[in-house]
Amino acid sequence: MKLKEKYSKKIIPELKKEFGYQNNLSVPRVKKVTVNVGLNRGETEHDPKYIDLVVDTIATITGQKPTIKEARRSIAGFKIREGLPVGVSVTLRRKKMYNFIDKLINIALPRVRDFRGLEEKNIDNSSNLSIGLKEQTVFPEIDQEKITKLHGLQITLTTNATKREEALTLFKLLGFPFRKN
């Protein structure tokens, strides 16, 4: 069963029963998924193709072309000038979002070395789940033999849940593995 179908047939009734929602539209849902990679200034200076490598990797993983984020202002202490590329980001919604979440839960997270589950503290007070991965090689689209440099990535799942407990229940019902305390 696809994640979108599972959401409408199993998750919505479960959340309605547990939290007493009267309407299907008031049930919390994932609004968007943001995939981010922060660019290391040293890497971008020494290897000009590093940005292209990161953009290609994120495009391959998500199926959508990412945008390059540039510094808005200069920071002398970090040797960053205005307009210097500092990150690569992509926002997924609708069908691509559900496909990515499904791939993340069922393929990528089980491939993470020494993975024992997500911590509940990864859900912030705004009911968003943030996951940091140290390597991009956990995704099946990445050919490990063609990788020249490893980089991490951050994944943020944004919800419209009003309470942290509602978001935690939503993520557990979606299938995210959380650590047992």
82-127: pLDDT as tens digits: 666 667 888 888 888 888 888 888 777 777 777 777 787 878 888 8
Average pLDDT of the residues of the chain: 77
Measured CA to CA, the distance from residue 99 to residue 52 in angstroms comes to 24
CA dihedral 84, 64, 120, 113 (to 10 degrees): -90
For the chain, give every domain's residue range: 33-126+138-174
- Torsion sign over Cα 88, 119, 3, 170: negative
Fold of 33-126+138-174: 50s Ribosomal Protein L5; Chain: A, (3.30.1440)
- pLDDT, tens digit (0-9, with 9 covering 90-100), for 7-55: 666 777 777 777 888 887 788 888 898 888 877 665 555 566 777 777 7
- pLDDT, tens digit (0-9, with 9 covering 90-100), for 117-155: 778 787 888 888 888 887 767 777 776 666 667 777 888
Instruction: Kindly list the distances between the CA atom of residue 80 and the CA atoms of 23, 66, 151, 172, in Å, as whole numbers in the listed order.
Output: 49, 22, 20, 40
